[in-house]
Amino acid sequence: MDLRLSPDAVKFRDELRAWLDENLERPYTEELLDPKHDEDSLVEVRRNFQRKLNDAGYLGMGWPTEWGGRGATAVEEALLRAELAIADAPQSPNSLGIGLCGPALIHHGTEEQRQRFLPAMLSCDEIWCQGFSEPGAGSDLAGIRTRAEPDGDDFRIHGQKVWTTLGPWSDWIFVLARTDMEDRYGGITFFLMPIDQPGVEMRPLKQISGESEFGEVFFDNALAKREHIVGKLGEGWRIAMTVLGFERGGSTLLPSAEYGRQIDCLVDALSASGEIERADVREKVGALIVENEVLRANGMRTLASVAQDLPPGPESSIDKIFWSEYHQRLTDTAIELMGPQGQLLVTSPGARKDVDWMYEYLWSRAGTIYSGSSEIQRNIIAKRVLQMPTK
Amino acid sequence: MDLRLSPDAVKFRDELRAWLDENLERPYTEELLDPKHDEDSLVEVRRNFQRKLNDAGYLGMGWPTEWGGRGATAVEEALLRAELAIADAPQSPNSLGIGLCGPALIHHGTEEQRQRFLPAMLSCDEIWCQGFSEPGAGSDLAGIRTRAEPDGDDFRIHGQKVWTTLGPWSDWIFVLARTDMEDRYGGITFFLMPIDQPGVEMRPLKQISGESEFGEVFFDNALAKREHIVGKLGEGWRIAMTVLGFERGGSTLLPSAEYGRQIDCLVDALSASGEIERADVREKVGALIVENEVLRANGMRTLASVAQDLPPGPESSIDKIFWSEYHQRLTDTAIELMGPQGQLLVTSPGARKDVDWMYEYLWSRAGTIYSGSSEIQRNIIAKRVLQMPTK
Amino acid sequence: MHFELNEDQALLKSSTRELLESESPIAESRTVMEDNPDGFAKDLHAQLGELGYLGILQTEDAGGMGAIAFAAVLAEMGRVAFPGPYMDVAVAVRVLEDCGGDTAAKWQQAAASGEKIVVLARGENMTNADDTNVAATFADGRVTGRKVFVPFGAQADALLVDTVQGIALVERPDAGWNATEQTTLDHSQRFAAIDFDDAGELLCDASKGTQVLADAARRATLGASAVMLGCMESALESGVAYTKEREAFGAPIGSFQGLQHRAADMLIKTESTRSAVFRAAWAEENGEPDAGYVVSVAKAWAGPSSRFVCGQSIQLLGGVGYTWEYDQHMWLKRAKTFESFYGSTRASTENVLASSTHLNS
Amino acid sequence: MHFELNEDQALLKSSTRELLESESPIAESRTVMEDNPDGFAKDLHAQLGELGYLGILQTEDAGGMGAIAFAAVLAEMGRVAFPGPYMDVAVAVRVLEDCGGDTAAKWQQAAASGEKIVVLARGENMTNADDTNVAATFADGRVTGRKVFVPFGAQADALLVDTVQGIALVERPDAGWNATEQTTLDHSQRFAAIDFDDAGELLCDASKGTQVLADAARRATLGASAVMLGCMESALESGVAYTKEREAFGAPIGSFQGLQHRAADMLIKTESTRSAVFRAAWAEENGEPDAGYVVSVAKAWAGPSSRFVCGQSIQLLGGVGYTWEYDQHMWLKRAKTFESFYGSTRASTENVLASSTHLNS
């Protein structure tokens, strides 16, 4: 066992911290609270910070250097995300492009596609959104029904996608669509499509938080050019699975870092009110910290396994269930402990200004649903890990 | 709504309390701790107290008076059981006889059977055990495989029964056995059998508490006489279901009364140690009380429904899941709060002597398994109450 | 013993459901929340007054219908996440009656009829809703101090202010309240912090006021528990209904045992809450000595239980459960907000422990 | 970064499993519990000494193998609910080394070799195992006082007694200890209350002793967490194995989603405990500044988690899970008892909170 960071990793983290001290003007929650901002200008804040990160070499961590990436290790990527969360830095508006579409192009795209798309992705000149999930398919990605009909050399797309992050601000979308209605896995193709064209309609989808970070997109005879197919026809499922697998290491330290920051802010609030002196409050906060440290330990273990290039074990389903369900408990308990003040919207006078607790509380309800619901993850554990029988 | 006890019920309860003051020599837990006792003499303590109850007219509460019962209301029966629990009175060694077999005879037996069996049941001269559950059938009573083969006018029984309460001290057993292997429900017959005969072997089955209150019984060509069949051939399933339904009202107030006593004893222990002053301890004890009061409210509601002769609703599955899972939380938390002392066997020097916490802790693990496991009860709720679809 | 509503109460319950279904179904609750600056429909509030709903907690002689009716009505309102100060006004009406005197009587009539909005202004602690210490004072005909999280305080025509000297009535000044909106998770539940330096009138002194306010708090605790019960009912019903329609992996998702057992747990919590709430309502209505105890039991139980049921209702729906368009969030937000007010889970649990002297049944 | 055991540790783990499978499988643990008046097999304890297991926590120079090896061995022991004072003696051996001096060295050798049983006698509070206040004294060559819940105290050849003056060694008097057996849920874990009025020798003074005992307590906390991990492993494995064989309603019960999701939860708890325990073991072994913090995290987590997993293992088996014959109760009892000792869940949680100064990673 060795859980210590390598000297290189420590150096990387220390440089990053110094860079953040210098370059992050203020926490994103403060940006949110600045009355000068609206939804559009907040996206610009995020875009601008992404450009700064890119200029400093902190973007496309896993991409090869020839494409503007850093060729960084999984540990470095994990540290980057954790430190950004601790600093409450603006989140990238292009994370799905860089995390999923970029790797798809690097591994499966043509030279032309790479040259055309990768630089503008990193620089955030073009924002990408994801067209994987569908309203009818839920957690079953192979069940998608969006179809691509041949139109000369090209294709015409018909269907609907949901959970489209930052759709209204996106320029391009990468889409899984059926080029064969019969072949469940082999009939899916990976397309790149511009959003500003006839037949593509982006609709903001209001979430329970009242925001519309996610949207829906409707395709009605939208054009997908043959030159914008990634890989071959029918390879879309395989490519999607591969690039989703690349995500394995980078997020290992993120949840515990993010929740750790939230716990810190909770402790601040309870110290200010004096409630932290009560034994019952201490016990509840202590239990939250314990659970977050176990989450961190799980993350360290997964990261170690990625760093060693070990084959994936049960950890991705365990980690997903753990962080998503824990975040519900954390926000639920935090709000309860903060009393009436804890109920206030972050914009309300008298509210704590360091965490948008109401948003976090509501957002935590999505965590157990997207990217494979808790139910699906438990099925995976029971069947693949514990090898329990099917009827 | 009216949750107040009727004047008659209040009178019944007050008389009962006065009678208990007079006639219960000491709590059963004290009997348990008396070194003069062994397993046999403890059964005698229980038998003797049952005789006292019977002499005072507190046994066979729901039986008609012509058979020595009281013809009492469901409310009175529920009050009796609750008061006995609060007083920590010795439990009847014949409760399944009186609760299940007696009603079966009264409603479905012959005059000869009633005269032969009912008086000795109430007087506890003959102890009865139940032969319903089987190792292979679990929660599925219609799945029993013990078979009754014709032998002249009579039958020969082959098979095995489990969860046989007080088997080693019993004189008679009432048994469900198959007289028809094909007819799932209509092939089951209700037999009465003496235990002291060739072909009946009682084996104590050691439980995780180290005790053997339950046993197994093996039938190998044991004789079941035709005159000891209750009802007709093939009516066993229907009779069993009917008498199990009689149980509906009597136990409604029992769990909350019993657990209420346990909570009282917990509060005593925590008051003695001073731990009750801690806010975290208070919060946990308070939550235990809240939950027990909700259990009590559920019980009152069920009892009110029985008292009104309303058709059964979802309450029996709800109540079963609630009390059994709550008892696990209660004992788990109580032991934790009592610290090292809470870990002591009741017989150990320095242990609290009012509750046998270790026994209760372990016994609580059985509650979610017997009489229809928590899983079965949830299936029932989902299917019968919520009418959720089957695949 | 019987647990069912009596004929009058059952009729009230069904007519309330009809009224809300026609005048204010949950879609309307959403519209009010989004578009109505007051956070409630004034017309409908006035209608509730005309129909006698606002006077429900008054003594029988004054036209009240009792705590069981109150709980039954509020459970119906919870079902549609009904927005507005109904409960707060109903409680205040009874406080006015309990205070007595001409001014109180005048306002009692105005509030019960729905003409005027009158609510209590009690808490002063931003981080503890159960803190009953007050610093606000009444002196020389003026009320001074600061109250926080006054429900629909900004919309009120008069406030019943808990002061060191007793309960004082303050009418809205011509210039309006010196109010700061306090927006919570449940957007339709309006709160305000209000700074007082206004003319007022003492309705009853502190020695009497303490009991009057304790009674009011107990009734509000009961009412909030009933609202949460209603939220749970709807969340359970609509969640389960969805699982019967929605298909995945070739079968309705409601046929999967994982969701079936979850739904069973939701039913257990919901029905147990019903038992606890109506046991408490019965005790309150009949002046049972343990009314405070069983009311606190109901609230301490309803809080976490309603969060569970309403949260799991979102989970049953999956992705669409997370959208504004579906109703699940309305119930979750109401439940979560109500848990912290009108007797928090912690305060209710403490009250249970404090009132339990070895729990003899 | 890597999380796997190194070659030596992995070899130790597999040879420990082989040793226990051949010499002391769980059936043997049951036999010892039922029939052995000492509660453990002395021969096997001596064998553990010969094989170097008892000296595992000594410094490397003295032949120790480190905290990771210690945790790996104890997890194996947890798997078979291994009875006996192994962990307590291993911790005491290190205390003797840390105290230093001739007497300590002599006893260190005797305890590490398995010839003598030496354990710590610390607690004096019947209702709080984490109370470190001591009243026992050492004066004029005698130790007086009362210690409770001394693990295998009645079986010990010498006790290391925490006194106001420091750590004193008391050899078993010729007349035997003045001991009262304290029988707990876990029958195989023997405890005794011991009254001292015996000749003793001070091994180290209080100023040094405080640190030595704090180190010992931390190691015992780690060890207990590892034992609980082992219990969970076995409870999960045997519970899931049963669901694959047992049929009901025409299918193996393991095919029902309700049990599948339960088993998944058991796996999550078990694997998370593994992460926490070995993270803590690594920190302890490497003298990381946060070792006390992460050790407490592991224990605070392992307690409730092991109760859940071991309890649900009984539930997976149904009726037979409630019988003495099946092994499930062995793990549940060990886990439940260990939760209250060697740093209770509460004390561990408090320690986590106290050591967490805003948790910078």
Residue whose token pair is 């609060």: B86
Q: Residue C147 and residue A350: Cα distance in Å, rounded?
A: 13
C10: confidence class by pLDDT, cuts 50, 70, 90 = very high
pLDDT at C79: 98
Q: Say which of A247, A258, A277, A336 is annotated catalytic.
A: A247
A314: confidence class by pLDDT, cuts 50, 70, 90 = low
Q: Report which of residues B139 and A136 the model is more confident about.
A: A136
pLDDT over 70 (residue C360): no
In a domain, D224, yes or no: yes
Nearest Cα residue in chain B from A283: B280
**CB of A379 less than 8 A from some CB of D:** yes
In a domain, D143, yes or no: no
Q: Residue C301 and residue B296: Cα distance in Å, rounded?
A: 13
B/e letters for B143-178, b = 16+ CB within 10 Å, e = fewer, are ebebbbeeeeebbbbbbbbbbbbbbbbbbbbbbbbb
pLDDT at C361: 37
Cβ of D346 within 8 Å of Cβ of B280? The answer is yes
- Paired residues of A311 in beta bridges: none
Among the residue ranges A245-249, C108-112, D128-132, the one predicted with the least confidence is: A245-249
Q: What's the farthest any 2 CA atoms get from each other in chain D?
A: 75
List the Cα angle A287/A288/A290 in 5-degree steps. 60
Q: How many domains does chain D have?
A: 1
Q: How far is D267 from chain C (nearest CA, A)?
A: 17
pLDDT over 50 (residue B77): yes
Residue whose token pair is 């610009």: A44
Cβ of C244 within 8 Å of Cβ of B383? The answer is no
- Paired residues of B2 in beta bridges: C2
D359: confidence class by pLDDT, cuts 50, 70, 90 = very low
Q: Residue D42 and residue A185: Cα distance in Å, rounded?
A: 62
Q: How far is A280 from chain B (nearest CA, A)?
A: 4
Residue whose token pair is 């058991």: D266
Q: Residue A100 and residue B327: Cα distance in Å, rounded?
A: 49
Name the neighbours of A, counting chains with at least 3 Cβ pairs within 8 A: B, C, D
pLDDT at C357: 62
Which is nearest to C305 in space by CA: C216, C235, C257, C200? Answer: C235
Cβ of C127 within 8 Å of Cβ of A340? The answer is yes
Residue whose token pair is 């239980």: C305
In a domain, C40, yes or no: no
Which is nearest to B387 in space by CA: C310, C263, C262? Answer: C263
Q: Two tokens at B166?
A: 């007080």
Nearest Cα residue in chain D from C263: D258
Amino acid at A228: H
Per-residue pLDDT tens for D81-112? 999 999 999 999 999 999 999 999 999 999 99
Q: Residue B103 and residue B244: Cα distance in Å, rounded?
A: 10
Helices within chain D (DSSP H only): 7-23, 26-35, 42-50, 67-79, 86-99, 102-112, 206-245, 257-285, 291-317, 328-340, 345-355
pLDDT at A261: 96
Cβ of B318 within 8 Å of Cβ of C240? The answer is no
In a domain, C217, yes or no: yes
Nearest Cα residue in chain D from B359: D185
Q: How far is A152 from chain C (nearest CA, A)?
A: 35
Residue C107 in contact with residue C96, Cβ under 8 Å? yes
Residues 316-335 of A with CB under 8 A from D: 318, 321-322
Which is nearest to C156 in space by CA: C136, C142, C170? Answer: C170
Cβ of C127 within 8 Å of Cβ of A275? The answer is yes
pLDDT at D361: 38
In a domain, D42, yes or no: no
From residue D216, how far is each of D88, D143, D228, D306 by CA, in Å?
10, 21, 18, 23
Give the β-pairing of D118-121 and C158-163. Answer: unpaired
Element (H or E) spanning B176, and its range?
strand B172-178
Nearest Cα residue in chain D from C262: D258
CATH number at residue D258: 1.20.140.10
pLDDT at A139: 60
Q: How far is C267 from chain B (nearest CA, A)?
A: 8
Kindly list the residues from chain C whose CB atom is less than 8 angstroms away from the CB atom of residue A139.
248, 318
Kindly list the residues from chain A whose CB atom is less than 8 angstroms away from the CB atom of residue C332.
208, 365
Gyration radius of chain B over CA positions: 22
Average pLDDT, chain A: 93
Task: DSSP letter for B98, please.
Answer: I
Residue whose token pair is 């459970």: C75
Kindly list the residues from chain A whose CB atom is less than 8 angstroms away from the CB atom of residue D5.
1
Residue A166 in contact with residue A127, Cβ under 8 Å? yes
Per-residue pLDDT tens for B16-59? 999 999 999 999 999 999 999 998 999 999 999 999 999 999 99
Cβ of C260 within 8 Å of Cβ of D258? The answer is yes
ipTM of the complex model: 0.96
Q: What is the mean pLDDT of residues B131-139?
A: 78
Kindly list the residues from chain D whose CB atom is less than 8 angstroms away from the CB atom of residue A79.
none
Q: What is the mean pLDDT of residues A279-289?
A: 96
pLDDT over 50 (residue D230): yes
SS3 B157: strand
pLDDT over 60 (residue C199): yes
A243: confidence class by pLDDT, cuts 50, 70, 90 = confident
In a domain, D335, yes or no: yes
Preferred mutation among D261, D262, D265 to probe C, highest tally of C CBs within 10 A: D261
Q: How far is B88 from chain D (nearest CA, A)?
A: 22
pLDDT at A137: 67
SS3 B56: coil
Give a three-class secondary structure readout of A136-177: CCCCCHHHCCCEEEEECCEEEEEEEEEEEECHHHCCEEEEEE
Nearest Cα residue in chain A from B275: A279
Q: Residue D162 and residue D14: Cα distance in Å, rounded?
A: 36
C358: confidence class by pLDDT, cuts 50, 70, 90 = low
Q: What is the mean pLDDT of residues A367-375?
A: 91
Q: How far is B242 from chain D (nearest CA, A)?
A: 23
Range of the domain at C238: 209-360
Q: Residue A357 and residue A345: Cα distance in Å, rounded?
A: 7
Residue D243 in contact with residue D264, Cβ under 8 Å? no
Nearest to B350 among D129, D193, D256 (CB): D193
What share of chain D has pLDDT > 70, as a percent? 99
B209: confidence class by pLDDT, cuts 50, 70, 90 = very high
B/D interface, count of CB pairs below 8 Å: 121
Q: Two tokens at D201?
A: 């020798």
Q: Two tokens at A326?
A: 């824990």
- Residue B247 known to be catalytic: yes
Nearest Cα residue in chain B from D345: B336
pLDDT at D36: 93
A/C interface, count of CB pairs below 8 Å: 122
Which is nearest to D119 in space by CA: D351, D297, D341, D349? Answer: D341
Kindly list the residues from chain D whose CB atom is less than 8 angstroms away from the CB atom of residue C260.
258
Cβ of A388 within 8 Å of Cβ of D261? The answer is no
Cβ of D315 within 8 Å of Cβ of B205? The answer is no
**CB of B312 less than 8 A from some CB of C:** no
Helix A315-337 / helix A279-307 crossing angle, nearest 10 deg: 160
Nearest to A1 among D243, D271, D278 (CB): D278
Kindly list the residues from chain C whose CB atom is less than 8 angstroms away from the CB atom of residue D260.
258
Chain D residues contacting C via beta carbons under 8 Å:
256-258, 260-261
pLDDT over 70 (residue D125): yes
Q: How far is C59 from chain B (nearest CA, A)?
A: 18
Among the residue ranges C67-81, C127-141, C332-346, C347-361, the one predicted with the least confidence is: C347-361
Q: What is the mean pLDDT of residues D134-140?
A: 98
Q: What is the mean pLDDT of residues B329-357?
A: 96
Q: What is the mean pLDDT of residues C321-330?
A: 96
pLDDT over 90 (residue A175): yes
Q: Two tokens at B214?
A: 């339950």
Give the β-pairing of C191-199 and C178-182. Answer: antiparallel
Q: Report which of residues D12 and A162 the model is more confident about.
A: D12
Cβ of D323 within 8 Å of Cβ of B336? The answer is no
Q: Two tokens at B255?
A: 């769990």
Per-residue pLDDT tens for A219-232? 999 999 999 999 99
Q: What is the mean pLDDT of residues D185-213?
A: 96
Chain C residues contacting D via beta carbons under 8 Å:
256-258, 260-261
Torsion of CA B206, B209, B214, B219, to 10 degrees: -20
In a domain, C242, yes or no: yes
Give a three-class secondary structure readout of chain A: CECCCCHHHHHHHHHHHHHHHHHCCCCHHHHHHCCCCCHHHHHHHHHHHHHHHHHCCCCCCCCCHHHCCCCCCHHHHHHHHHHHHHCCCCCCCCHHHHHHHHHHHHHHCCHHHHHHHHHHHHCCCCCEEEECCCCCCCCCHHHCCCEEEEECCEEEEEEEEEEEECHHHCCEEEEEEECCCCCCCCCEEEEEEECCCCCEEEEECCECCCCCCEEEEEEEEEEECHHHEECCCCCHHHHHHHHHHHHHHHCCCHHHHHHHHHHHHHHHHHHHHCHHHCHHHHHHHHHHHHHHHHHHHHHHHHHHHHHCCCCCCCHHHHHHHHHHHHHHHHHHHHHHHCHHHHCECCCCCCCCCCCCHHHHHHHHHHHCCCCCCHHHHHHHHHHHHCCCCCC
C/D interface, count of CB pairs below 8 Å: 11
Preferred mutation among A275, A281, A283, A336 to probe B, highest tally of B CBs within 10 A: A283
Q: What is the mean pLDDT of residues B177-205?
A: 94
Average pLDDT, chain D: 96
Per-residue pLDDT tens for C242-264? 999 998 888 999 999 999 999 99
pLDDT over 90 (residue B168): no
Q: Two tokens at A284?
A: 């509840």
Spell out the domains of chain A, with CATH numbers in brackets.
Answer: 7-92 (1.10.540.10), 128-235 (2.40.110.10), 248-385 (1.20.140.10)
In a domain, D349, yes or no: yes
Q: Say which of B126, B235, B247, B325 is annotated catalytic.
A: B247
Q: What is the mean pLDDT of residues C151-160?
A: 98
pLDDT over 50 (residue C359): no
Nearest Cα residue in chain D from C261: D258
Per-residue pLDDT tens for D16-26? 999 999 999 99
Q: What's the farthest any 2 CA atoms get from each other in chain C?
A: 75
Average pLDDT, chain B: 93
